[in-house]
Amino acid sequence: MYIRKDIILKLTEYGELNQTSLLSYCGLNLVKHKDILDDMEAKGIIKRTEEPWGNKKIIKYSVTEKGRQFCRQILDPYEEMFPRRDLKK
């Protein structure tokens, strides 16, 4: 739940991020968390675009309006009710 919120918040903050930056800012691993990005894209919460870069392509993500609404209506109230634990304690 929190991973999805972190992804939405980072994309909202930066507007658009390439896959590497997004995963790095959120502290995620592509192999372990790719299915979360794919699921969020399939549900229309985030949008994936590919841009050519030489003979490779850059994958970029941005949050959709549906994603912003999902964050405000579902994720924010959830985190308010069940706040993240302070890991330093």
Residue 20 to residue 60: CA distance in whole angstroms: 9
* pLDDT tens-digit series, residues 72-88: 888 888 888 888 775 55
Q: Which residue has the higher pLDDT, 17 or 5?
A: 17
Q: Within a 13 Å sphere around the CA of 37, how many CA atoms are in the beta-carbon half?
A: 23
C-alpha 35 chain-centroid distance:
12
Q: Which residues pair with 33 in a beta bridge?
A: none
| Within-domain flag for 17 | yes
For residue 20, the domain's CATH number is 1.10.10.10
| Within-domain flag for 18 | yes
pTM for this one? 0.80
Helix (H) / strand (E) containing 68: helix 65-70
- Compute CA distances 28 → 5, 14, 50, 56, 85, whole Å: 13, 17, 20, 23, 19
* Residue 22 lies in domain: 2-81
Calculate what percentage of the chain has a pLDDT beyond 90.
Answer: 63
* pLDDT tens-digit series, residues 34-75: 999 999 999 999 999 999 989 999 999 999 999 989 888 888
